[in-house]
Amino acid sequence: MQRAEFGRIANQLKIKIDATLDAMHATILEREKQKALELEALDVTLPGNRRRIGHRHPLTIVRKEIEDIFVSMGYSVEDGPEVENTYYNFEALNFPPGHPARDPRDTFYVGESVILRTHTSPVQVRTMEKTRPPVRIICPGRVFRRDAFDPTHSPMFHQVECLVVDEGITFADLKGTLERFHKEFFGEKTKTRLRPSFFPFVEPGAEVDVSCVFCDGAGCRICKGTGWIEVMGSGMVHPNLYGFVNYDADKLTGFAFGGGIERYAMLKYNINDLQLFFQNDMRFLEQF
Residues of this chain that bind ligand PHE (CB under 6 A): 119, 121, 199, 202, 205, 233-235, 256-258
CB 235 → ligand PHE: shortest distance, Å?
5
Termini Cα distance of the chain: 100
Residue nearer to ligand PHE on the CB measure, 133 or 205: 205
Residue nearer to ligand PHE on the CB measure, 75 or 257: 257
CB 178 → ligand PHE: shortest distance, Å?
11
Map residue 79 onto helix, strand or coil: coil
CB 56 → ligand PHE: shortest distance, Å?
25
- HEC string of 192-236 equals EEEEEECCCCEEEEEEEEEECCCCCCCCCCCCCCCCEEEEEEEEE
The backbone torsions φ and ψ at residue 143, rounded to the nearest 5 degrees and listed phi first, read -135, 160
CB 191 → ligand PHE: shortest distance, Å?
20
Residue nearer to ligand PHE on the CB measure, 119 or 217: 119
Residue nearer to ligand PHE on the CB measure, 61 or 101: 101
Residue nearer to ligand PHE on the CB measure, 164 or 217: 164
If one counts every other C-beta atom within 10 angstroms of the C-beta of residue 112, the result is: 7
State how far the alpha carbon of 147 is from the alpha carbons of 83, 99, 103, 154, 155, in Å: 18, 18, 13, 6, 5
CB 206 → ligand PHE: shortest distance, Å?
8
**CA-CA distance, 261 to 240, in Å (whole number)?**
28
Asked whether 133 and 166 are in contact (CB, 8 A), the reply is: yes
CB 197 → ligand PHE: shortest distance, Å?
8
Residue nearer to ligand PHE on the CB measure, 241 or 267: 241
The single-letter code of the amino acid at 250 is D
